Amino acid sequence: MLRHGETEWSRDGRHTGRTDIPLTPVGEAAAAKLKPAVAKLDVVATYCSPAQRARRTAELAGLTDLTIDPDLWEWDYGGYEGLTTKQIQADRPGWYLWRDGVIPGDAEHPGETIQQVGARADRVLATVRPLLARGNVALVAHGHILRILTARYLGLEPDGGRLFALATGTISTLGTEHDEPVIASWNVPPGAS
């Protein structure tokens, strides 16, 4: 799993769900530095969010034969799109995304529940599991969807994603041990693998 490189909004801590913004130069450099680690993997298929920040990360990391999967879009933050946690908490003291969710937004950002995001993660897992017999499947997407997908892979409820911090421009690997799902590596920055 690759989380896309830095964008202005991710750098500034703004919730970036469906707003389609590009990588910063720092984000592009980090994504390009993932290429050597990705090249060592036997990737048989790549699934990518439709967002340009994910597609560009995949391209710079050397993953060019992409299947665009709308289920890999980031959590739709609804009325919290573009806001920081501090801004949200000014109106909702103690607000915590994983517990309290989002409020509806406009037509482009109607918002999603964590259960809806979990259902999307389950669909992605159902699609890629059969391919794993042939080799590794790369998923290029966003922080919260990948965290929720990891929770679901491990058999946790979607809110279990809160346990897995995930930085931009990193690579993580899910695997098995004794036929049980495990995290093989997590949040590995460029050049560290």
For residue 70, give every residue at least 6 positions away whose Cβ sits within 8 Å of its Cβ, in sequence order, or none. Answer: 49, 50
Backbone angles phi, psi at 116, to 5 degrees: -65, -40
Specify whether the CB–CB gap between 137 and 153 falls below 8 A.
no
Active site residue 15: no
Q: Which of 6, 15, 28, 74 is catalytic?
A: 74
- DSSP alpha helices (H): ranges in the chain? 8-12, 25-33, 35-39, 52-60, 85-91, 97-100, 114-128, 143-153
Are the CB atoms for 181 and 167 separated by under 8 Å? no
SS3 of the chain: helix, strand, coil, percent, to 5: 40, 20, 40
Residue 109 annotated as catalytic = no
Beta carbons within 8 Å of 106's beta carbon, 6+ residues apart: none
Q: How far is CA 184 from CA 1, 151, 176, 181, 188, in A?
A: 11, 14, 8, 9, 11
Any idea which residues carry the catalytic annotation?
Answer: 4, 74
